[in-house]
């Protein structure tokens, strides 16, 4: 990391009402600093006020992470006695002249623990959500970020191809998920993956966010596998749907419809196109085929350091795509109590249009 990303944050705050940003562990803190911390009972908070040296309040046991950083940062370590933490926050925020100021936070990440310490540490301060200013930081990926995402896709695809020959009728969803998880690690995924694989067969595949269960795969099932890898903090998020043995003609039909919707969604994206148009392109294919009521979620979401981030491919989202934005295209049809299909790819907006980072076959394949 370098001071360039802090300068980028300063530019994002220039025309806002925020005097500072306070971040607890998560992708934005890592993006700015290159430091990784876990959310735990000991709070870690990075505070950045434009024009001043960034400050980080952290446990003494985490101090080694801040040695030899390629940029200036002021540390405020604390010990193991919780009653003393408040004074450390107070000292840090006083030195940054944030008493009575406006401090922005990430509303989907800031916990009450850290929020109260910041509020009490800066008397009179207004601590409010700054999601738009912060979202803009990671919205457009640079070449290095795209390369890491590309590698995360490659790892995920290789892991699934290694898993497919192991899938047999009679295996449980959990057993398939376990094998896939092992293969993700063997193929080079970071240990902290973007999410636990979704492996759902038959009636369970009609639940878009099903958790792998003890249900055993049966001939005639559709099998949805939604999985991803992480590489140096950047992720992939893919879905393919398979036939377990021979499946009914209607299930092959809905797979073909979703495959066409996925192709339409992938083709729709380019710089200057509204996110809503990507959703419309994929959704209209499914609606025209008479299955619109069974497509129950948005067409996609942004990806990068998080599995779900901006921009969102939603029918009401008029945000325009720009070069460097990354997102998924993942239409689906879900027939309650029967079977479901989803096909998902990872996209990056380029100067010449839009590229799919993933190229795993989308046609229905038979396993088992």
Sign of the CA dihedral with 269 first, then 273, 279, and 285 last? negative
Q: Which two tokens stand for residue 4?
A: 């360039």
* Per-residue pLDDT at 4 exceeds 90: no
Whole-prediction pTM value? 0.94
Q: At what angle do helices 85-95 and 112-121 cross, to 10 degrees?
A: 60
pLDDT tens digit sequence for 324-341: 999 999 999 999 999 999
- pLDDT-derived band at 3 (thresholds 50, 70, 90) equals confident
In three-state secondary structure terms, 243 is strand
Give the pLDDT of residue 1. 54
Number of neighbouring beta carbons within 10 Å of residue 158: 18
Which residues are CB-neighbours of 74 under 8 A, at least 6 positions away? 53, 54, 55, 56, 92, 95
pLDDT of residue 15: 87
List domains and CATH numbers for the chain: 3-138 (3.40.350.10), 143-367 (3.90.230.10)
Question: What is the model's pLDDT at position 135?
Answer: 86
Q: Please give the C-alpha separations between residue 280 and each of 37, 39, 276, in angstroms, as whole numbers.
A: 39, 38, 6
Average of per-residue pLDDT values in the chain: 97
Give the pLDDT mean for 346-358. Answer: 97
Residue 2 CB: number of other CB atoms within 10 A? 9
Residue 167 has pLDDT above 80, yes or no: yes
Mean pLDDT, residues 284-310: 97
Instruction: Give the CA radius of gyration of the chain.
Output: 23
Q: What is the DSSP letter of 8?
A: H
Residue 313: name the closest of 326, 301, 295 by CA. Answer: 301
- Both tokens of 40, joined, read 């735990």
Per-residue pLDDT tens digits for 11-60: 999 989 999 999 999 999 999 999 999 999 999 999 999 999 999 999 99
pLDDT at 2: 61
Distance CA 124, CA 94 (A): 12
Report the phi/psi class of residue 175: left, alpha or beta, with left for phi > 0 and alpha for psi in -120 to 50.
alpha
């Amino acid at each position: 990391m370098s001071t360039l990303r802090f300068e980028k944050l300063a530019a994002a705050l220039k025309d806002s009402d925020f005097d500072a940003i306070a971040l607890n562990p998560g992708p934005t803190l890592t993006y700015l600093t290159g430091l990784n911390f876990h959310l735990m009972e000991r709070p870690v908070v990075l505070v950045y006020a434009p024009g001043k040296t960034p400050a980080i309040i952290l446990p003494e046991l985490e101090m080694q992470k801040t040695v030899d950083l390629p940029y200036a940062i002021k540390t405020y370590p604390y010990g193991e006695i919780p009653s003393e933490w408040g004074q450390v926050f107070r000292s840090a925020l006083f030195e940054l002249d944030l008493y009575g100021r406006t401090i922005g936070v990430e509303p989907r990440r800031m916990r009450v623990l850290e929020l109260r310490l910041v509020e009490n540490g800066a008397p009179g301060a207004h601590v409010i959500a700054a999601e738009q200013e912060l979202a803009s930081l990671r919205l457009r990926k640079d070449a290095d970020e795209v390369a890491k995402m590309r590698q995360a896709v490659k790892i995920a695809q290789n892991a699934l191809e290694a898993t497919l020959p192991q899938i047999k009728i009679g295996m449980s969803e959990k057993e398939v998920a376990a094998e896939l998880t092992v293969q993700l690690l063997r193929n080079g995924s970071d240990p902290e993956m973007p999410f636990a694989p979704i492996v759902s067969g038959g009636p369970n595949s009609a639940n878009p966010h099903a958790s792998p269960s003890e249900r055993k795969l049966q001939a005639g099932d559709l099998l949805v596998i939604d999985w991803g890898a992480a590489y140096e903090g950047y992720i992939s998020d893919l879905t393919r749907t398979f036939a377990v043995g021979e499946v009914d003609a209607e299930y092959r039909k809905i797979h073909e419809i979703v495959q066409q919707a996925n192709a339409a969604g992938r083709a729709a994206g380019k710089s200057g196109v509204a996110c809503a148009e990507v959703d419309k392109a994929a959704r209209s294919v499914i609606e025209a085929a008479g299955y619109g009521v069974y497509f129950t979620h948005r067409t996609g979401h942004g990806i990068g350091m998080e599995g779900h981030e901006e921009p969102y491919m939603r029918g009401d989202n008029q945000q325009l795509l720009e070069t460097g934005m990354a997102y998924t295209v993942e239409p689906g049809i879900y027939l309650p109590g029967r079977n479901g299909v989803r096909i998902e790819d990872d996209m990056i907006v380029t100067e010449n249009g839009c590229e799919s980072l993933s190229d795993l076959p989308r046609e229905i394949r038979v396993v088992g």
